[in-house]
Amino acid sequence: MTGVFSLLPEGQLGLLQSPLSGAEPYGDTEDLPRYLAVGGYAPLPAPDRLLDWIADAGLRGRGGAGFPAAVKLRAVRDAPGRPVVVANGEEGEPGSVKDRWLLRHRPHLILDGLRLAAAMTGAERGFVYLSDAPSERAVRRALAERRTGLRVDVVRTEPAYVAGEETAVVRRIDGGPALPTPKPPRPFEKGIGGAPTLVANVETLARLAVLHACPDVAGAVAGAHLVTVSGGAGTAAALVEVPAGTHLKLPADLCGHGTADAVLLGGLFGGLYGSRWADLPLDHDRMTAAGGALGCGALHFLHPGDCPVAVAAEATAYLAAQSARQCGVCVSGTEALAGALTAVGRGETDDDTRDRLRRWSGQLPGRGACGLLDAAARIVATLLAHFPDRIDAHRRATCPACEAERSDDGGRFRVPVP
């Protein structure tokens, strides 16, 4: 990795450079004395007061959907039964490293956030759900150093794109496979052991802890995002914390992608975006309005030697391979999209290829039990929207990028954890 950076203006406290993390980013795992010394595990405020702070700050979940955190917390608190809280650290997106970085280096920050979530919902039991062995070791070490009054268990699962989906999390913790289930009910209604359950991304919980410690800059903390930046042969990836509304140009320039032709947004969920990518703001609502999606905040840049058809083909092939294979429409739909794009890359298109891709990408979203099928359809829809001539162009000339050997394991998008 190039490194871990914070671009927050001086005085606006973030996860990486703040009183909760010291003057410099962590290069190792924080221990309890270090966390306590900078204000960790501060006394609990009144739960309603903390909920109001979160709502006023506008904190949104960092798992991908960007749902308002206060609304989700209140829904779990108000549901009948004794709630359960879960720190979800299963980072299914191959191009994202933020959750594993936090688990490995800031486990007390996450456990502090889990403690706060339990206080706001009335939960007496919590879980940390993950698939990464170094993350598990860091969390167990932190739990051995301090018990917060909340019973916390660690549940390890096998890594998979769908394993972090909230119903898959509940199913796995309840002893089943880490596969999504039909909705409703959603976990806030009926989750682990039938209890109302908060499944919160670990970055969301980390920001809860920072908000608690630093209420005077709550808006800055709630609006900032941890972004994984990758792409380009020979260009190292980086984890960057950026202020709310930052245009993509800033982290791109910092990480050596200022001359990129396009970007794959939000991991594999946000789709492709073409030449005007530099002006996109890192904000859920404004990015959605521009036709993209922020998702988990992972950005994969395409440089002049990269072909968007090849990138889309590899992404959809990976999603097809990662399908839970529980929904027939997901299995057939992702395989059809991936197969068609692979054929395009081989120059095997016909007059109807573009129309078929457009029709499928419009008909498939919303028909699966989770967001995997939606992600595949969005990749194809945005390929057609931002690169409308590329399908036909592959009929007229050989494309070296598409001819290059590739697999369905997401290797193009994977980056190491710093």
Q: What is the 3-state secondary structure (H, E, C) of the chain?
A: CCEEEECCCCCCCCCCCECCCECCCCCCCCCHHHHHHCCCCCCCCCHHHHHHHHHHHCCECCCCCCCEHHHHHHHHHHCCCCCEEEEECCCCCCCCCHHHHHHHHCHHHHHHHHHHHHHHHCCCEEEEEECCHHHHHHHHHHHHHCCCCCEEEEEECCCCCCCCCHHHHHHHHCCCCCCCCCCCCCCCCCCHHHCCEEEEEHHHHHHHHHHHHCHHHHHHHHHCEEEEEEECCCCCCEEEEECCCCECHHHHHHCCCCCCCEEEECCCCCEEECCCHHHCECCHHHHHHCCCCCCCCEEEEECCCCCHHHHHHHHHHHHHHHCCCCCHHHHHHHHHHHHHHHHHHCCCCCCCHHHHHHHHHHHCCCCCCCCHHHHHHHHHHHHHHHCCCHHHHHHHCCCHHHHCCCCCCCCCCCCCCC
Chain centroid to CA 368: 19
Is the CB of residue 387 less than 8 Å from the CB of residue 309? Answer: yes
* Residue of 211, 207, 219, 212 lying closest to 44 (CA atoms): 212
Mean pLDDT to the nearest integer, 44-48: 90
Side-chain-side CA neighbours of residue 112 (13 Å): 25
- Whether the predicted model's global pTM rises above the 0.85 cut: yes
pLDDT of residue 23: 41
Mean pLDDT, residues 260-271: 93
pLDDT band of 91, cuts 50, 70, 90: very high
More confident of the two residues 9 and 117: 117
Residue ranges of domains in the chain, CATH in brackets = 9-221 (3.40.50.11540), 225-302 (3.10.20.600), 308-403 (1.20.1440.230)
The pLDDT of 25-43, averaged and rounded, is 81
Report the C-alpha gap between 391 and 96 in whole angstroms: 29
The mean pLDDT value for 270-285 works out to 92
Give 209's pLDDT tier (boundaries 50, 70, 90). very high
Question: What integer pLDDT is reported at residue 158 of this predicted model?
Answer: 96
* Number of residues that make up the chain: 418
Residue with more model confidence, 12 or 275: 275
Confidence tier at 38 by pLDDT (50, 70, 90): confident
CA R_g for the chain = 21
Whether the predicted pLDDT of 395 surpasses 90 = no
C-alpha closest to that of 86 among 230, 197, 215: 197
What is the rounded average pLDDT of the residues 67-77? Answer: 95
Answer yes or no: is pLDDT of 22 > 90: no
pLDDT of residue 19: 53
Q: What is the pLDDT of residues 173-204, one digit of tens each?
A: 999 999 999 889 999 999 999 999 999 999 99
Q: What pLDDT is stored for residue 182 in this prediction?
A: 87
Per-residue confidence (pLDDT) for residue 382, from 0 to 100: 96
Predicted confidence at residue 220, as pLDDT, reads 87
> Is 258 a residue whose pLDDT tops 80?
yes
Q: What pLDDT digit, counting tens, does each position of 223-242 carry? A: 999 999 999 877 788 999 99
At residue 215, the pLDDT reads 85
What pLDDT band is residue 279 in, cutting at 50, 70 and 90?
very high
Q: How far apart are CA 331 and CA 121, in angstroms?
A: 37
Maximum C-alpha span of the chain: 67
Q: Give the mean pLDDT of 322-328.
A: 91
